[in-house]
Structure formats: structure tokens, C-alpha cells
Structure 1
């Protein structure tokens, strides 16, 4: 079978970086047509630069990178340097990228790619979904060209930036509501799943033990990245969020999911950005999201380590 054509929208961020590496290491399955970046973990000037650094690290200077929206639709930008460090990729010192930033705006690239594609495309959304939401509003016809959106964000029963909300959705809940209510085929991978994908010392050692530059850089990134969550959650390692999206595209049998109705809270100060997941069909609404609920963590790290070894 031919590789699945894929657009990746992200806000690197160490876990975005690992997700990009996993995708770029899998050309037989995923044809990465381009990477768009958004403000999220760090501001846009850094996310676009970090994406270019990671593409070069992977030896994939053929993948174009585009800068998208520098802020959420309605709210001030909230960033997460307290997790990712001031650069977004703290833990390593990657060289300044020579891969040029594309002149076209990321939203316009998404629209043009979808409208001119001869087949439907998959969109992997790893950061706040601002770029995709703006693209949908600007050109609603793209919805018929999207085969599936696989999104890292939300949760059934917990938050990580507030008691109720996961970071990506909290940063731009209004954009999330546009995407979730658009009718697009949507798979959500939230904290209920990603907090089970823990980079334990043994798993980290296996990545470092690859003995390659990519393996060493990845291990250094994850060592820094895990520090905050290890302390906060008393875990044996940091959870890996965004790479779950790519692993789902590569090996969906690692995950278990079910169709559910999900709505985004956009009004409450207390629960702003919460993904309200109707587990028991209390609303009697038709499901609009394929909600991932479980993951084979060992299988995930086997896949990740094997693919990183290819770079």
C-alpha cells in the first residue's frame, strides 16, 4: 500500500519533536507533505524554528515548514516554558536551521494542500488547533478533503493546565470547538491515554542505547522534558503526548477507542477548555469523535525505539 499523505500541525515542544521524528522515520507508511506550526508550547517564532531544526535532525530537509497563527482566536496566548524551557527544546543545543521557512502562511498551505489533493489527506494536530480552525472557517470545502483529523488534546476526566482542561484545548478552546463541531472525522487522544505512555528509565536507556545522534538527542530531550511531570505527578518518567498521534497512524492496534459525543467548554471560567465527553450518552447526541481510551505502552515504546533507530 502507498504511504498515507499527512499534514502535521504542531508547536514544538520536546514531545512534538519526538512525534516529528517518528513520522519522518516512517516514510513507507506516512508521506509527510508539510509541517505547519502554531503558537502554543512556546511562541510562533520558536515553534517554526524548532520544527525546522527537527526536520534537519531527521535528515529530511525535503519537508517544507510553514508558520501559522501566532495567537489563539479570542484569548491571549498561554505558553508552557515551565515544561519545555525557554527555547521549547531545552535539553539539547541543536544548530540553527538552514532549512528555510516557507513564505506562505501555514493556514493557506493547509487549504491549498487539501483543495488540490487528488485524494483525501490526514491531518495530525499536535498543538492548539488554531491553524486548522482558521482553515475551516476560511475555506469550509476543505472538510470534504480531510480523510481524518487525529488530535492530541483533551481528556475524559482530568486536566493538566487547570483542574479541568488539557493544555492544547485550553490555549484555544474556541478553535477546538470549531474543529469538534465541524463534522470532520476526528480521533481524540487525550491525557487519559498519554499519561500511561511513560518514559521510564529503562525505556529512556533503550533510546539512548541506539548509539546514534538521533537517539542521543531524543534521550536528552526526554530527560529534560520529563523533569516537570516526574515531580508533579510522582511518575517514574515523563508522559509522551504528541507521539501517540503518530503511533496511532502507524499502528492503530496499539490503541482502543470508542465513538462518543464531545463538546468543548468555551464559557465557564472554572472549566474553560474542558472536553466534555458524554461517556454514557446522557445527551442522546450522535457521537462526533472517536475517543481513544487505552494504549499498549510497551508496544508504543517498541515502535518508537525501532523507528528512531532508522534515522
Structure 2
């Protein structure tokens, strides 16, 4: 009997509560081989992201995964953090200890190029943050795409946004970078708000995690409790958020996707940062009268098996 090799993955993140949940899962799921983590400004400033990432990896008992500091601001926009969601330190102000680990002495783009090209098998790249590092990588070192199996990014929305009525935070934070991502020319999955907001760990499971004597499981519980949505439960549940995108790499059958054209709105105004997903069955008047334009086809997540991903997450984080 042969055992499948783990999937080599690299996470680009802005750790963040739910990025931390994603890292915990990636470290502990036996089907994933976390080869590197790169950091970008987003939920908090980039130095805070580096600190939070190193702390999470330490708490999770991760091996010596290289971590690199990346872009400290978007390509064009100013930094606009989400500390009102993630706390002053970006990690729910849980008072976690400072890490003893340190980042590598190269920048994020250099580390991404090195690890992607050095991998003996094509890498799955999982950005869970604004896409600045990824855009810089693709423009500086386009040769990396030959060893990228797929990009599964947490970002965008088919329906409703959160940063604006139509734009999701990661894409809104750096729309130009998201537009560059869509030029990568590799298979791509968009894990957007449409599924992101559905995967909620029940309150009883969150309480059990918080009571664990194992540091990584306990941290997952504290993070989930901080992300708890308003519910009628005595113990409110907590959303997996970004971690769902990593679950989708470990178990893609839990995600329902449709291959659809996607573009990013870049013009100033209320639609800036919107991911425009074309779900029409046939071309409309615009295409008929102006001629078709080249569009990027993306596997857009439209449905998710919530119970399946919750079980998957808990099994990994509470596993041996």
C-alpha cells in the first residue's frame, strides 16, 4: 500500500486571527508540507505580521519553516489595517509571548522564488492576505509559474463585500496586486467571502479547544472565540475564515466551484476592489458590440461543505 506524498504549500499571509488559524492547520495536517511563510501588511503592519507568524508557528510546534518579511504597503494605496477586527497586535490582544524564532535574512519575494523553484514537486501557493507580495513575485520572477501547481487565494466575493458593499478586504487593500495575480497563467481557485463566512466551528468545540492542555489546540480555541459570530448559543461558535482556504487545498472535494471569468475593478469610486465574476450563460451586449476581450478563468468557490471542513480542521489541530 502506498501513501500519497504531502502537498507542498507556501502561505502568504497578514497574520491576523484567521491567518493564524490557517497556519495552525497547515502545520498539523499530515497531507500538507508547509515549505515557507511570507508576510505582508494587511490586518496589521508587516512587522507585526512577522511577529505574529513566528509566534503561531512556535505555539504550533512547527518545524523550522522559513518566514520572510514582505511588502510594508500596497503597490499604490496607503496601508489600511484591520486592527478594529484583529486587535491592536493583530492577534486579538491575547497577550501571547514574543517569539524566540526569527525571520530569514531575505525578503519575501526572494524566499518565494527560492522555495517555489527548489521544490521537487509543483507548489500550491495559498495567499490569505492582500496580494502585494504575489504581484511583485510574478512581475519580478515570472519563471516561478512553471513550478506552481495552483494558486488558492482567499479574496474577493461574488455577492457582497466587507470592506465596501462590493469589495472584499484583501482585494480592496491592493486591487492592482489582485489584478496582477489574475495574469499568473496557472490554475487558480478563488475562496471568497461567499464561502469564507459560512464555515463556523460550533461553540462546544471552541470551548473544548480553549480548555486543551496542548498549546496549539488551546491557541486555536482562543482565536476562534475571538472570531465568534453573534449566535444564540451559550458558547458562541467561531468562524474559520482564512483557514477554510487551506482546508480547500487539503480536501478540495469539500468545495463547490465553477470555472468563471473574473476581473478586478480598478477605477476610483465605490466599485474599486470589486471582483467582477461573470456568471452569465452567454455574452451580453457589451461583448457583442465591442468585441470580446481576454478574460481570466478562475475556479470560483460558490458552495462549501461546512460540517466536512469543521471536522477536517478539528481533526488536524487536535491530532497527534
Report the TM range for the smaller structure's normalisation.
Answer: over 0.9
State the distance in 1 between where 2:271 and 2:206 align: 35
Match of 1:159 among 150, 158, 161: 161
Describe the SS at the equivalent of 1:162. Answer: coil
For residues 66 and 257 of structure 1, what CA distance do their matches in structure 2 show? 32
* 1:288 counterpart SS class: strand
Gaps of 5+ in 2: none
- What is the rounded CA distance, in whole Å, between the counterparts of 2:10 and 2:44 in structure 1? 21
- Distance in 2 of aligned mates of 1:166 and 1:238: 20
**What is residue 16 of structure 1 aligned with on the other side?**
19
What is aligned with 2:315? 306
Q: Which residue of 2 aligns with 1:70?
A: 72
Give the aligned partner of residue 106 of structure 2: 104
Distance in 1 (CA, whole Å) between partners of 2:24 and 2:300 is 24
Would the aligned equivalents of 2:155 and 2:168 in 1 still touch at CA under 8 Å?
A: yes
Alignment-derived partner of residue 247 in structure 1 = 247
- Residue 288 (structure 1) aligns with: 297
Return the alpha-carbon distance in structure 2 between the equivalents of residues 195 and 79 of structure 1.
20
1:260–1:286 CA contact under 8 A, matched in 2: no
SS at match of 2:259: strand
User: 2:41: which partner in 1?
Assistant: 39
Q: What SS is found at the alignment partner of 2:227?
A: helix
Range 197-206 or range 79-88, more displaced:
197-206
Work out whether residues 230 and 238 of structure 1, in 8 Å CA contact, stay in contact via their aligned partners in 2. no
The higher radius of gyration belongs to 2
Query: After alignment, is 140-149 or 9-18 more displaced?
Result: 140-149
1:156-202 superposed Cα distances (whole Å, 9 cap, x missing partner): 01100111100000001000000013322110000100111123423
Distance 1:160 1:240 in 2: 16
Deviation at 1:206, TM superposition (A): 4.2
C-alpha contact 1:47 1:88 (8 A) present in aligned 2 = yes
**Secondary structure at 2:253's aligned position in 1?**
helix
After TM superposition, the score normalised by the length of structure 1 is: 0.92
2:7 equivalent to 1:4: yes
**Aligned equivalents of 2:202, 2:271: Cα separation in 1:** 31
Q: CA deviation at 1:237?
A: 4.3
Query: Shift of the alpha carbon at 1:242?
Result: 0.6
Which secondary structure state, in structure 2, belongs to the residue aligned with residue 9 of structure 1? strand
Q: CA deviation at 1:268?
A: 3.2
1:183–1:288 CA contact under 8 A, matched in 2: no
TM-score by length of 2: 0.90
Q: Post-superposition shift, 1:132?
A: 0.8
> 1:91: Cα distance to partner?
4.7
Residue 142 of structure 1 aligns with which residue?
144
What pairs with 1:255-294 in structure 2 (closer than 5 Å)? 255-281=255-281, 282=283, 288-294=297-303
Count of aligned pairs: 304
Can you list the C-alpha shifts for 1:253-297, whole angstroms capped at 9, x where unaligned?
111111000000111311111000001154566651110111111
Structure 1: stretches of 5+ with no match in the other structure: none
**1:60 maps to which residue?**
62
Distance 1:47 1:99 in 2: 14
Contact kept, 8 Å, 2:263 with 2:295, in 1: the verdict is no
Q: Distance in 2 between matches of 1:52 and 1:207?
A: 21
**Aligned twin of 1:48:** 50
What is the distance in 1 between the residues matched to 2:167 and 2:31? Answer: 33
Instruction: Tell which deviates more after alignment, 180-189 or 76-85.
Output: 180-189
Partner Cα separation in structure 2 for residue 44 and residue 223 of structure 1: 24
